[in-house]
A and B are shown apart, each in its own frame.
Chain A
Amino acid sequence: MHGRLSLCFERPQNGSSAALRFLVQEPPWRVVRAFPTEAGASLIHLNNISGGILGGDRLELQIELSAGVAAQITSTGATRIYRSRPGQGAAVCSTTISLGKNSLLEFLPDALIPYAGSSFEQHTSIDLAPGATLFWWEVVAPGRAAAGEVFRYRGLRLQSEICAQGLPFAMEHFHLEPGQRPLDSPARLAGDRYLTTFFICKVGPPAGEWRGLEQELAEIAARLTRPGEIRWGASALARHGIIVRGLSRESRWTWPGLYEFWRAAKWRLLGQQAVLPRKVY
């Protein structure tokens, strides 16, 4: 299936939360409407009506935030990557996000779950204008762990690039092939199963401010780390932000930790409370 979703959050005329404009909405993507949050942002739930990503799917997501608007984007559930049929190519999802001047995007999806025999590529490109802020987390599960299906996917390629006005300051190219390159190596996942990445970015603050936030988040990371259960680390990026990385045996340790990092960082950068997207947890 080939599907494209293109959304634009625009500054409203009357000072309320951002107005959502649908440029393109093709199946399997589905966004019903935007909900105003108490903080003045617009919240949307990304839904895949096919229930997951199927082998050979080609999905595109484009999101644009106009200057000064705030948006919160989440999913309606975990992104399930289904088994590919023999000879079928990898499913691909390409996301392009553009953040206007002084805009704020909180991109807080549920976990990515690659099923046994699945093959998936995800390309994410985000560009921030001056003053723009991004909170983006991603949790990658080993498979359907509750069913004992762990690291049985064929391949998972995750490529992310975050730029400030076209210049990259955070890049990741992961290519996980559990059948070819063992993931339990001490350098890779070292026996853990869930990989969590949280980017906290804003174009503007000088390097010294990021070092201060790094120290604050590193203290939280040290406090939340529990040997044998979960390990966290936080570090200043080359410019404009912080990365928080988590490795854990189970996902239940991940979400409370992510919330704590988000809360601390949002308060420090914007002086605002972090409020989880409204949905059933």
Chain B
Amino acid sequence: MATSELSLLRLIQFSDSALPIGGAAHSFGLESLAAEGRLTVEDLPAFLEDYLQEAGCLEAVFCRLAHGCWPKQSNEGPDGPAGPDGFDGPIEEGAGPDRLAQWLHLNRQLSAFRCSRESREASATLGRRFLRLAASTMESPALATTLERSIEEGVDVHLCTAFGRVGAFLGLDPTPVAICYLHQSLAGLISACQRLLPLGQNRASRLLWDLKPSIVSTVERSLALSLEDVSCFLPALDVASMSHPTLATRLFVS
């Protein structure tokens, strides 16, 4: 099997909604919207399309920029030239621009974009666990170093930037990495909706199926955007996420 196919298979496993990082515990504000009767099953197709246009595009840009901190010639990855540990290459700190510093700054910026504390903390919790799991599964000192430095510097690691980091480590192009990220992100939201709304398995599956062209077009659109150009306007979801801690009964952490 070619390296790229193997890498893609590995990415598919990391994109599984059943990945043990705790994704099922978060609704990112959907629970409040459902509790207030502001989100129904009938609303979901348009709601998720809008979510993709705004938050999806923002996160796709961050995922791609995070991926771009580690160009392919950085010679790392599970099947790349062996580093001192015989598995992957060390991060070349100090050689040229500090990739890790750039990547950490992206995470800081994304934290600044996420105004709702619960949703921000959810993204950071999942990002940290994802990176830890990837480092452990691939026995990668490079990924472990990425995580350790973020902890040392007190920077939250977000899931989309962790995805970009791992995608680059696997030697994959940024487009499939961002597509897989958005797909698992929507799968997680739809799964949350199945517990919040009368949404059956078949309809949920069809919903995700129908959103695939929009996922691809969102990532294509994001390729032309810089951080300066990108926008995200979801104030109703922000307010819902902000009011989540005051809900009387909660199924989800966020």
A62 to chain B, nearest CB (A): 20
- If the complex has contacts A185-B47, A247-B236, are A235 and B117 also in contact, measured as CB distance less than 8 A? yes
B53 and A181 within 8 A (CB): yes
Contacts of B116 in A (CB 8 A): 233, 235
Chain A, residues 154-185, CB within 8 Å of chain B (1/0): the string is: 00010001100001111111111000010001
Of the residues A167, A168, A187, A192, contact of B237 by C-beta under 8 Å: A187
B109 and A192 within 8 A (CB): no
B57 to chain A, nearest CB (A): 10
Contacts of A189 in B (CB 8 A): 235-236
Closest to A236 in B: B117
Closest to B156 in A: A238
Residue B115 CB within 8 A of the other chain: yes
Chain A, residues 209-231, CB within 8 Å of chain B (1/0): the string is: 00000100011011001010001
Of the residues B53, B112, B156, B243, contact of A168 by C-beta under 8 Å: B112
Q: What secondary structure prevails in chain B residues at the interface with A?
A: helix
Q: Which bucket holds chain B's interface residue count?
A: 35 or more
B206 to chain A, nearest CB (A): 20
A235 to B246, CA, bound (A): 12
A247 and B234 within 8 A (CB): no
A178 to chain B, nearest CB (A): 11
Residue B141 CB within 8 A of the other chain: no
A218 and B47 within 8 A (CB): no
A186 to B230, CA, bound (A): 21
Residue B51 CB within 8 A of the other chain: yes
Of the residues B39, B112, B243, contact of A171 by C-beta under 8 Å: B112
Chain B interface (Cβ < 8 Å from any Cβ of A): 33, 36, 38-39, 43, 46-47, 50-51, 53-54, 108-109, 111-118, 120, 156, 230-243, 245-246
Q: Can you sample 30 A-B contacts with CB below 8 Å?
A: A162-B112, A167-B108, A170-B112, A170-B115, A171-B112, A185-B46, A185-B47, A186-B33, A186-B43, A187-B47, A187-B234, A187-B236, A188-B50, A188-B233, A188-B234, A189-B235, A192-B236, A218-B242, A218-B245, A233-B239, A233-B240, A233-B241, A235-B115, A235-B117, A235-B241, A236-B117, A237-B112, A238-B112, A238-B114, A243-B115
Closest 7 CB pairs of A and B: A233-B242, A175-B231, A238-B111, A233-B239, A190-B236, A171-B112, A168-B112
Q: Beyond the given A170-B115, A195-B235, A235-B238, could you list 8 further A-B residue pairs with CB under 8 A, ordered by the A residue number?
A: A171-B113, A173-B113, A173-B230, A174-B231, A218-B243, A219-B246, A222-B246, A235-B241
